[in-house]
Amino acid sequence: MRMLKIVIIIISAIFLSNCTDSTEVVVVYTSVDQVFSEPILKDFEQETGIKVKAVYDAEETKSTGVLNRLIAEKDNPQCDVFWSGDPVRTIILQNKGITAAYHSPIADGISEVYRDKDYHWIGFSARARVLLYNKKLIDESEVPQGIFDLTNDKYRGRFGIANPLFGTTTFHMAALFTVLGDEKAKQLLDSLQLNGLVIATSNGDIKRRVLSGEIACGLTDTDDAFEALKESDNVDLVFLDQKGIGSLIIPNTVNMINGSRNVDNAKVLIDYLLSKQTEAKLAKSCAQMPLHKGVKLPEGVFSLDHIVPMKVDYRKTAKKLEEIQDYLKRWSEN
């Protein structure tokens, strides 16, 4: 009898432990650099008591690794929340029926430009595409002011972009196709290639090459550019096309996964990521620009109020991204 009671106690303890684990866990996949996303998720754990199980993307396959994993897991979802570094991949998932709507009350303070009308995704903390340049190699008077300037002969072989098949560079390419139209965008890319465009492995690689002087300038994101500015006084950045098509703004997005096993905890995490508190932390750690009004910015971090944005439809851009994948592959391999 005593042994039976012990067995019952042990079974009950195991059952309660499993129940606790299942209700106090949230699984998040993210394409945001681990060095920036992990501290936010650790703070969330400490403040809420909810354990986070996170899957991070690798730098070289940014945004495609977890994206493909979420697609593969569609019929048996293992993830609760997807924290993306851009909206396009989230929209691809939405189009495949992988996202679930959640109208977070925190989203009401964010412009409708940066959220899905049915709340399948919501944007926060944005980056922008910029040109990082080496001041020792380019005189300030000759710094390119628009992306078409890079087709000028004086920049031949001296500029670069990250691999266009991955990360925000793919997003940038799709946005250019959306805004310029297919024909003009292809002409631009061909002209850049003919002018000796260097293709690096990642945005971080662009930063490294500009810092070392291997190339004079390169397209990257504000977070990588901000890190470069902290590392050296010999580099600076410029927001391109401020008198033309504008600079591409890239908000983070967060969404719930359809079939999430931890819905309540997923909502708590989404609310936390969308908060002004999180935006302030990301502004400090990686110079991301808050989408909420009234978030205090650290010195040197740019405000969206002072940038001319590219007028891009994120949904159309997501569709275009899928359409041009084969073309970008052929173009980058030439």
Digit-coded pLDDT (tens) for 185-229: 999 999 999 999 999 999 999 999 999 999 999 999 998 999 999
Instruction: Give the model's pLDDT for residue 62.
Output: 52
What are the tens digits of pLDDT across the range 88-121? 889 999 999 999 999 999 999 999 999 999 999 9
Backbone CA torsion sign across 105, 299, 237, 235: negative
At a CB cut-off of 8 Å and minimum separation 6, what does 17 contact?
A: none
Q: What is the DSSP secondary structure assignment for residue 16, as one 8-state letter?
A: H
The span from the first CA to the last CA of the chain, in angstroms, equals 78
pTM over 0.75: yes
- 115 DSSP assignment: B
Would you place residue 12 in the very low, low, confident or very high pLDDT band (cuts 50, 70, 90)? very low
Among the listed ranges 61-65, 231-235, 249-253, which one has the minimum average pLDDT value? 61-65
Q: What is the DSSP string of 257-313?
A: ETT-S-HHHHHHHHHHHHSHHHHHHHHHHH-PBPSSTTPPPPTT---GGGS-B----
Read off the tokens for 240. Answer: 């391109």
pLDDT in tens, 60-96: 455 568 999 999 999 999 999 999 999 988 999 999 9
Cross-strand pairs, 82 = 29, 255
- Full set of structural domains in the chain with CATH: 24-126+249-302 (3.40.190.10), 127-248+322-333 (3.40.190.10)
Mean pLDDT lowest among 32-36, 48-52, 135-139: 32-36
